[in-house]
Chains A and B, each alone.
Chain A
Amino acid sequence: MKSILIITRRELNSFFDSLIAYIILALLLGFTGFLTWIRGFGNSDVFMLNQATLGQFIGVAYWTLFFIIPALTMRLIAEEKKTGTIELLLTKAISDRQVVIGKFLSTLLLICIALLLTLPYVITIASIGNLDLGEVICGYLGLILMSATYISIGLYASSITSNQIVAFLATLFIGLFFHIIFDLLKGAATGFIGDFFSMLSLSTHFESIARGVVDSKDIIYFLSIIILGLFLTEVSLSKRKISG
């Protein structure tokens, strides 16, 4: 456990040292702030809607995070593979799994810090109207689960290549399926197939949590993708050993 935290701390420091963290924070706060308060899509900002709801903010964050996370995860392993530092890291007294989990947690922590900084929005909305606390908590929970899912996918994409651009695009490509394509297919198909795509679609599960219904089905969905992603990353790291 200690080794995991050492990795997490280094990665987190590295985010802040290289300005990536600040750019990401500015982007997330800027986008969500602008679209929530000043000018929402289709005049749906808080003042136009005239409702004390976080719906607009959650919706914008949902899309912003989708594009931001691949940019954070792309370097995690790909860069180490390119510079060769992965060899040094993995020959230390630490297992492949600990490295993967440490890197995963570092990015998740950065996203949590970013989301924490959006709390002033919540406080402001709560002060001008009657805000449903349950909705707020569930909205944030949904965003965190969604972020963790894309981080896990991004980590995997980063582990299969030593090119950061490839890792970035691969994450977006895989993510796009969960984010929107399964959702579109769900609408196009009916019956069993429709249910199947509905089950795979991340947006279905996200919306259900964001609405305030925390169903074990949704939690299991997110957790299984996260664990699968981390597992595949570990496998992909271990593959060096049996390279044929």
Chain B
Amino acid sequence: MDIKIENLTKKYGYQKAVDNISFNVKTGEIVGFLGPNGAGKTTTMKIITNYLNCEEGEITIGGKSIKTNAEEIKKHIGYLPESNPLYNDMPVIDYLEFCAALQGIEDKFIPGRVREMVKVCGLNSEKHKKIGELSKGYRQRVGLAQAMIHDPEILILDEPTTGLDPNQIVEIRRLIRELGKEKTVILSTHILSEVEATCDRILIINNGAIVADGTAESLRKKAKGNEVLSVRIEDGDADTIYKTLKAISTIDSVDFTDRSKNRFEIQSSVGSSSKREIFNVCVKNGWVLTEMTPSETKLEDIFRELTLN
């Protein structure tokens, strides 16, 4: 099911939480929401799940407007809210059965679904405990289990991996990627490496507006147009190498990172690559090129650049 959001605006009083946001999410796509606190990620998710209304704008899911088909559409959405609220007085199994029944699963299929979710989310050892007795990580797993219990076509996950141990994080990310092949997934997170590891597409939201939209790759390209290489050249005099490198036409700047070890950081001018030229220069002068690494712009830097202003 595709999600189509057009000109969505949501105000809390005079404050605009979401300001004229538009984007599409296609089936089989995992979209990651990134943004500082209070950027409007959670509000957008709450509107998609029909917990909040959108005053302005239109959301269509699978070709149907959520304003007129709320009950129908809610069946196809699995939602994990930010704070992961759960009924503490209910045993895990009972809670999952309750959620399955509410989502309209036929009675005869409920035990099977619950069993599967217990297996998928690794809840087997805790399934008879009351939710209130569980640790944070297990609560998070129960939250994920209830979101996926009815095999929804759309998954909205607000910070799905908080409170999980590293093994479980890897496991859940793998699960989300698996699900994302045939379902539509929107997740929000603060962990930038998580977005890179799981999402096909990244939306960076700041002050209620989308400031970047694309794959991690394309965001990098956009953030920094020029190539940066860290290079180590041996068997030559550092200053001579420095001057020779500087003379190459495509190179913008050369800096020493470690003079004694002949390490340099080389920035090419916008839109050009100087890897070949550096290699050729080394060959010509009989130097040995022992290291050449393109240094990638970190997602953290892009994030800071876009959201700090």
Name A residues whose Cβ lies closer than 8 Å to a Cβ of B: 2-3, 6-7, 10, 13-14, 17-18, 83-95, 240-244
Q: Which residues of A contact B50 (CB under 8 A)?
A: 91
| Residues of B contacting A: mostly | loop
- Count contacts on B: residues with CB < 8 A to the other chain: 32
- Does B53 belong to the interface (CB within 8 Å)? yes
Q: Which residues of B contact A86 (CB under 8 A)?
A: 85
Are A240 and B99 CB-contacts (below 8 A) given A83-B88, A87-B85? no
Are A85 and B87 CB-contacts (below 8 A) given A91-B50, A244-B12? yes
CB distance from A87 to the nearest CB of B (A): 5
Q: Ordered nearest first, which 5 A-B pairs have the shortest CB separation?
A: A84-B85, A241-B53, A93-B75, A85-B85, A91-B49
Asked if B52 contacts A88 (CB within 8 A), the reply is no
Asked if A6 contacts B81 (CB within 8 A), the reply is no
30 sampled A-B residue pairs with Cβ under 8 A:
A6-B98, A6-B101, A7-B102, A13-B94, A17-B89, A17-B90, A18-B89, A83-B88, A85-B85, A87-B85, A88-B81, A88-B146, A90-B51, A91-B50, A91-B74, A91-B77, A92-B74, A92-B99, A93-B74, A93-B75, A95-B70, A240-B51, A240-B52, A241-B51, A241-B53, A242-B55, A243-B12, A243-B52, A244-B12, A244-B13
Q: Which residues of B contact A94 (CB under 8 A)?
A: 71, 74, 102
Asked if A93 contacts B53 (CB within 8 A), the reply is no
Inter-chain CB contacts under 8 Å: number: 70
Are A87 and B51 CB-contacts (below 8 A) given A92-B99, A93-B104? yes
Q: Which residues of A contact B90 (CB under 8 A)?
A: 10, 14, 17
Interface flags for B163-200 (1: CB within 8 Å of A; 0: not) read 00000000000000000000000000000000000000
- Does B79 belong to the interface (CB within 8 Å)? yes
Are A88 and B11 CB-contacts (below 8 A) given A6-B98, A6-B101? no
Q: Which residues of A contact B99 (CB under 8 A)?
A: 92
- Does B293 belong to the interface (CB within 8 Å)? no
Are A6 and B102 CB-contacts (below 8 A) given A17-B89, A95-B71? yes
Q: Which residues of B contact A7 (CB under 8 A)?
A: 102
Interface flags for B52-95 (1: CB within 8 Å of A; 0: not) read 11010000000000000011001101010101011111100010
Interface flags for B214-247 (1: CB within 8 Å of A; 0: not) read 0000000000000000000000000000000000
Are A92 and B83 CB-contacts (below 8 A) given A17-B89, A87-B51, A243-B12? no
For B11, B85, B86, B89, the residue with the greatest tally of chain A CB atoms inside 10 Å of its CB is: B85
Asked if A84 contacts B81 (CB within 8 A), the reply is yes
A14 to B12, CA, bound (A): 35
Asked if A83 contacts B102 (CB within 8 A), the reply is no
Q: Which residues of B contact A85 (CB under 8 A)?
A: 85-87
- Does B103 belong to the interface (CB within 8 Å)? yes
For B71, B81, B87, B94, the residue with the greatest tally of chain A CB atoms inside 10 Å of its CB is: B87
CB distance from B157 to the nearest CB of A (A): 13
Asked if A92 contacts B85 (CB within 8 A), the reply is no
- 16 more A-B residue pairs beyond the given contacts A87-B85, A94-B102, A243-B52, with a C-beta to C-beta distance below 8 A: A7-B102, A10-B90, A13-B94, A85-B86, A88-B81, A88-B86, A88-B146, A91-B49, A91-B50, A91-B74, A91-B79, A92-B99, A93-B103, A93-B104, A240-B51, A242-B55
CB distance from B184 to the nearest CB of A (A): 16
